[in-house]
Amino acid sequence: MSKDYTLSPRIDQVGVNDRIERITKRSLKKETKMKGLLMALNMIDLTTLEGADTENKVKQMCYKAQNLHSDYPDLPTTAAVCVYPNFVKTAAKAVEGSGVKVASVATAFPSGQSSLEIKLLDTKIAVDNGADEVDMVISRGRFHSGDYNFVFDEIATIKEACGNARLKVILETGELGTLDKIRRASDIAIDAGADFIKTSTGKIQPAATLPFTSVMLEAIKDHYYATGKMVGMKPAGGISNAKLALQYLLLVKETLGDKWLTNEWFRFGASSLANDVVMQIAKQRTGEYQSKDYFSID
C-alpha cells in the first residue's frame, strides 16, 4: 500500500446533515413507493447471527427468504441469507436453486480480535461450505492505532482467500467515532479490493445511519469516477421499517444513480425489515394493515 490515507477527504458534517434532512422530508407517490418496497425486499440479507442459532432456525429463515408471505406468492425473494460459517452448508442446501445467495460472516466476527491465520481459516470454512459472499470485519484496534497498512493488507489477503465469493467489508461505523474516520476506512477497504463496504455488525450502537451511509456512498462514487469500477454498499443494523429503507434507496439514487439500485450493488443487513416491508406492500394493495400475527418472528 502506497497511498497516504491521512489525506482522505475531510467531511463537512453540517453539509451531510442538511442533505439527510432533505432526504427524510421527501414524499413518494404510491406507484413509486410500491416499486421501492419491492426493490427493498429483494435487497435484504435476511440474517441470524446469534449464539443460540440452530440448524432448524437457519432452515426456517431460508424458507422465509423464499416465501415471504403465503398470501403473496408473487413477492420477490430476499437477496441472501447471512449466517455463521458453521451453518453455511445447511443454508446452501436450503436455498439451492432459488437464486437466494448465502452470505457468511467471518474473520472473528464481530470483534475481529484474532490472528490472520484464524481469520483465513474462518473464511476458508465459509467458502468451502458454499458461501457466495463473505462479510468480514476490519481490525478496528489497528485502525485506531493508525496502522492503515495492516488494515489494508489484511483486507487484501482475505479478499484473495475468498476466491470467487464476493467480499463485504464491515467497518463497524459505531466504533470509528467520526465521519472523517468512516471516510478513511471506506477508502482503505475499497482500495484493498472490497466488493461491498458495510456499515456495521449489528452488535454495536450506533449501527447504520443515513449520515454514515452518505459518507460511504461518496467514497464509492469517488472511486467509480477515478477507476470506473463499481463497489457495493450494505447498511446493516437498526433498519427495521420500510419508511427508513425507502430513504436509504433515495440516498443511493441521488448519490450513485440507478445503476446501484439492484441487489448486485446494494443490500440491507436486517433481521426484521422484511416483515415491515411486506406489511407496507399489503397496505398498498389492500388499503389495510395486516396484524403482525400473520408474520413469522425473525
Question: 7: pLDDT confidence band, cut at 50, 70 and 90?
Answer: confident
What pLDDT does residue 70 have?
A: 84
Decide: helix, strand or coil at residue 228.
coil
Catalytic residue among 89, 101, 159, 198, which? 198
Structural contact between residues 211 and 11, judged by C-beta atoms closer than 8 angstroms = no
Give the model's pLDDT for residue 289. 72
Catalytic status, residue 198: yes
Q: Quick count: other Cβ atoms within 10 Å of Cβ 254?
A: 14
**143 with 185: CB under 8 angstroms?**
yes
- Per the structure block, which three cell numbers stand in for 166? 464476493
pLDDT at 80: 98
The lowest-confidence range among 88-97, 134-143, 202-211, 281-290 is 281-290
3-state helix, strand, coil in the chain (%, to 5): 50, 10, 40
Angle between helices 210-227 and 13-24 (to 10 degrees): 110
Contact of 244 with 209, CB cutoff 8 Å: no
Instruction: For residue 221, give the CATH number of its domain.
Output: 3.20.20.70
- Confidence at residue 298, expressed as pLDDT on a 0 to 100 scale: 58
* Single pTM value for the model: 0.95
Whether the per-residue pLDDT at 178 is higher than 90: the answer is yes
What pLDDT is attached to residue 262?
A: 98
What pLDDT, on the 0 to 100 scale, is given for residue 1? 56
Average pLDDT over residues 203-212: 95
DSSP state of 169: E
Please give the mean pLDDT across all residues of the chain. 95
Q: Is 234 a residue of the active site? A: yes
Decide which of 53 and 6 is more confident.
53
- pLDDT: is 181 or 72 the higher one? 181
Confidence of residue 295 (pLDDT cuts 50, 70, 90): low
Q: How high is the pLDDT of residue 267?
A: 98
Active site residue 298: no
**What is the number of structural domains in the chain?**
1
CA 27 from centroid of its chain's CA atoms? 25
Q: How do residues 73-105 score in pLDDT, each as one tens digit? A: 999 999 999 999 999 999 999 999 999 999 999
Q: Going by C-beta distance under 8 Å and a sequence separation of 6 or more, which residues neighbour residue 280?
A: 37, 242
Closest to 114 in 3D by CA, of 88, 136, 134:
136
Q: Give me the mean pLDDT over the 194-209 stretch.
A: 96
Q: What is the mean pLDDT of residues 204-222?
A: 97
Residue 208 is part of which domain span? Answer: 5-294
**∠ CA 226-236-111 to the nearest 5 degrees?**
95
Quick one: what percent of the chain has pLDDT higher than 70?
96
Tens digits of residue pLDDT in 44-61: 999 999 999 999 999 999
Q: What is the mean pLDDT of residues 4-29?
A: 94
| Torsion, CA 164, CA 204, CA 252, CA 187, rounded to 10 | -60
Give the whole-angstrom CA distance, residue 48 versus residue 83. 6
Residue 22 pLDDT? 96
Confidence of residue 271 (pLDDT cuts 50, 70, 90): confident
- Which position among 135, 187, 195, 276 bears the catalytic label? 135
